[in-house]
Amino acid sequence: MPLILTVSKVARYLKDILLSDTMLQDVWVSGEVGNFTRSAAGHSYFTLREGTSAALRCVMFRNAGGGANHLAEGAAVIVHGRIAIYEQRGDLQLIADVVQPEGVGELQLKLEALKAKLEKEGLFEPSRKRELPAFPVKIGVITSPTGAVWHDIQSIVSRRYPLVELVLAPTLVQGDAAAPGIAEAFTAMNAIPGLDLVILARGGGSMEDLWPFNEEAVARAIYTSRAPVVSAVGHETDFTIADMVADVRAPTPSAAAELAVPDRRELLAGIAAAARGMSAFLDSVVTGGMDDIERARARLDRAAPDFDTLRLRVDDLLKNAASQLRHVVNARSAEVESLGHRLTALSPRDILRRGYAIVEAAATGRIVTDASQLKPDDDVSVTLDKGGFNAGVKRVRD
Amino acid sequence: MASKSSKHQPADLANLSFEDALKRLNETVAKLETGKLTLSEATVLYEEGIKLAHVCTEKIAAAEMRITQIRTAYGEQMRMYEDDAAGDDLDDDDEDEA
């Protein structure tokens, strides 16, 4: 009795065979594009032909990978993908993930295939890129200990921001041992507590020299780094898979060192500016206070009594008082004058004119009003209204 | 002048990390410029700010970069190589010309 299978069993059996064949699961096929169509969903359908002797149906899904733009009727291309069976129709087809134009080197093809794979896994996801800390304390450096790169990184970091500790993980950065060495270095870095970031750096070189940085082991090591990774591989124009997985890509190792730390000169200038700003602000507060005082003084002046007017009034009053005083003085003078007249009227001369005489004792000069003041032979002086005479006392009467 | 805060601040400020001192300096400047402060409050803040500026400047001026090295297979290999060859140059490692 022969073994009888159902169609679906055959299809499943073929599928298992295809899946177990590693060559068919990771294959590059060259050929010419025909029957090229793109569906509304954005998937590409085409046939790869080798002249008229052979043909292979191909599909490239919209989100597959790189190079769909190389697909065009009649284009000579190299397609990467896996061979699968489309059970419903029993067709064999190539499920493509990378398309490259014919004539691209082998390394490039490997690179594109790995890129497509890692992209699908999300290793390049922009949303998982981490920011570098503004003021790092501990920076890991994975590079060759003997080259100019390590020297440059040291001198740039110590010039810009010597507040950090550099932790070097010496590695080979070229040749077959480089990729596992770099992966080992990342594992060692992950064990260091407090690491703020890791710089993975290498100087310029040929595409072959830089190859370790396109290897899967390195990409995965970067992806699993606990600290954010700055990649700096080769020159500005060199793009590696390491650059695509890293959180930050620096164009050169020196640029990586500059990205990793702030610049001391700028910080010092900022600190000085802050100090100046504070001084200026305090000055303005003081000046503002002085202005307030000045304004208050002006208001006080306005509210105070008017001393000038008061002074004028005092002046006026004084003048007034002086003239009053003059009046009083004048009045008194007149009074004095009239009293003088009256006194004149009482003068002894008037009495003498009426026939009286004044007798003075010659010895004492005193006016004699009592006969007892005299004795015989005293000299006396007698004053009359007009003239007088001296005489001697003959006899004193009582 | 010796208010209770400014009395034990200098030591505290000097113990701050550069990053923290710088952050606090910026906060102080912002507080000074935006807050409605009395002259004495402004003076206290100003003094603190100037101290912080000194702390920052001194920290960054006095710092010296430290370098440590972690063990890797390659690092060990190189050490052995250096011990063996006693100063023999590693000229075949010419990958870092940039």
In angstroms, what CA-CA distances link A159 with A41, A268, A312? Answer: 55, 13, 78
Of A137, A170, A202, the CB nearest to B75: A170
- ipTM for this prediction: 0.70
**Given a cut of 90, is residue B88 above it in pLDDT?**
no
pLDDT of residue B85: 62
Of A169, A202, A274, the CB nearest to B25: A274
pLDDT of residue A123: 94
| Region A318-334 average pLDDT | 88
**Given a cut of 70, is residue B86 above it in pLDDT?**
no
Using CA coordinates, name the residue in chain A closest to B56.
Answer: A271
pLDDT in tens, A100-109: 888 776 777 7
Q: A130 to chain B nearest CA, in Å?
A: 20
Of B19, B56, B95, the CB nearest to A144: B95
* Residues of chain B positioned with their CB less than 8 A from the CB of A181: 72-74
- As given in the structure block, the two tokens for residue B81 are 């190589």
pLDDT of residue B63: 86
Q: Which residue has the tokens 């007017």?
A: A309
* Residues of chain B positioned with their CB less than 8 A from the CB of A134: 19
* Residues of chain A positioned with their CB less than 8 A from the CB of B66: 164-166
In angstroms, what CA-CA distances link A155 with A5, A197, A253? Answer: 73, 18, 12
pLDDT of residue B7: 41
CA neighbor of A204 nearest in space, from A225, A181, A176, A234:
A234
Q: Which residue has the tokens 């190792």?
A: A253
Using CA coordinates, name the residue in chain B closest to A137.
Answer: B19
pLDDT in tens, A12-28: 999 999 999 989 999 99
pLDDT in tens, A194-208: 999 999 999 988 878
- Name all domains of chain A by residue range, CATH numbers in brackets: 7-121 (2.40.50.140), 127-284 (3.40.50.10550), 351-392 (no CATH)
In this prediction, residue A110 has a pLDDT band, given cuts at 50, 70 and 90, of confident
The C-alpha atoms of residue A186 and residue A229 are separated, in whole angstroms, by 10
CA neighbor of A148 nearest in space, from A252, A3, A273, A38:
A252
pLDDT in tens, A264-323: 999 999 999 999 888 888 888 888 888 888 898 888 888 887 788 888 888 888 888 888
Q: Which stretch of DSSP H or E encloses residue B74?
A: helix B73-85
Of B22, B75, B98, the CB nearest to A252: B98
In this prediction, residue A240 has a pLDDT band, given cuts at 50, 70 and 90, of very high
Q: B55 to chain A nearest CA, in Å?
A: 10
In this prediction, residue A184 has a pLDDT band, given cuts at 50, 70 and 90, of very high
Flag if A279 and B90 touch (Cβ within 8 Å): no
Residues 6+ apart with CB under 8 A from A278: B28, B29, B32, B45, B46, B49, B50, B53
Q: If DSSP states are collapsed to H, E and C, what string results for chain A?
A: CCCCCCHHHHHHHHHHHHHHCHHHHCEEEEEEEEEEEECCCCCEEEEEEECCCEEEEEEECCCCCECHHHCCCCCEEEEEEEEEEECCCCEEEEEEEEEEECCCCHHHHHHHHHHHHHHHHCCCCHHHCCCCCCCCCEEEEEECCCCHHHHHHHHHHHHHCCCCEEEEEECCCCCCCHHHHHHHHHHHHHCCCCCCEEEEEECCCCCCCCHHHHCHHHHHHHHCCCCCEEEEECCCCCCCHHHHHCCEECCCHHHHHHHHCCCHHHHHHHHHHHHHHHHHHHHHHHHHHHHHHHHHHHHHHHHCCCHHHHHHHHHHHHHHHHHHHHHHHHHHHHHHHHHHHHHHHCCHHHHHHCCCCEEEECCCCCECCCHHHCCCCCEEEEECCCCEEEEECCCCCC
**Given a cut of 90, is residue A171 above it in pLDDT?**
yes
3-state secondary structure of B67: strand
* Residues of chain A positioned with their CB less than 8 A from the CB of B17: 137
Q: B87 to chain A nearest CA, in Å?
A: 13
| Region A70-84 average pLDDT | 90
